[in-house]
Amino acid sequence: MKRPEKNEYPENFDQYIKLIPGENVIRALESQMLELQALVSDLPSEKEDYAYAPGKWTIKEVLGHLIDAERVFGYRVLRFARGDSQALPGFDDKKYVPAGKFNKRSFYDLAHEFSVLREANIILIKNLGEEELSMRGTADELEMTARALIFSIAGHSAHHVRTIKARYLE
């Protein structure tokens, strides 16, 4: 899959898209599943409820946010790729994360759910052609192509895994 052009997405999504090198976003999506599973399996139990600063999410809440985003963005890819022109609402992660009660779950359970969702999204993405990848949709009042959204999914995960490594595992 070719990289999205700058005219395929809003400027603020560049922060995520630029985190995915090259054009093989499928490989990036697949390797992120394995990276997240390895990261979670190596986390010491004392980090389970750790937040690096007051008001910041715990590692479990970051994982929960990744799950929510994977679910929402995957749905958006489906809608965009199918040519659905109805504008989709945004989602407020500041409300979703507390409502998800992710701190009550195990690292394993969270990593497993992420992997199941990611695998389903990969199957969808692998079966999209150039026409579907070029379809545009609107979510949270922002227009982009399905292709740009796919790169954003990978970049969003890369961003949060990098944050976990840098701020939570010091």
* Mean residue pLDDT across the chain: 95
For residue 139, is it within any domain?
yes
Q: What is the pLDDT of residue 44?
A: 87
For residue 62, is it within any domain?
yes
What stretch of H or E contains 15? helix 14-17
Domain housing 84 = 25-168
**Sequence-ordered list of residues with C-beta below 8 angstroms from that of 168, at least 6 positions apart, any chain:** 47, 50, 52, 59, 62
Q: What is the pLDDT of residue 169?
A: 87
For residue 19, is it within any domain?
no
For residue 118, is it within any domain?
yes
CATH number, residue 153: 1.20.120.450
For residue 1, is it within any domain?
no
How far is 108 from 103, CA to CA, in rounded Å? 12
SS3 60: helix
The total number of structural domains in the chain stands at 1
Q: Is 170's pLDDT higher than 80?
A: no
45-100 per-position pLDDT tens digit: 888 889 999 999 999 999 999 999 999 999 999 999 999 989 999 999 999 999 99
**Residue with tokens 């390895």, as numbered in its chain:** 38
For residue 44, is it within any domain?
yes
How far is 63 from 65, CA to CA, in rounded Å? 5
Dihedral sign computed on CA atoms, order 100, 64, 156, 28: negative
For residue 90, is it within any domain?
yes
For residue 13, is it within any domain?
no
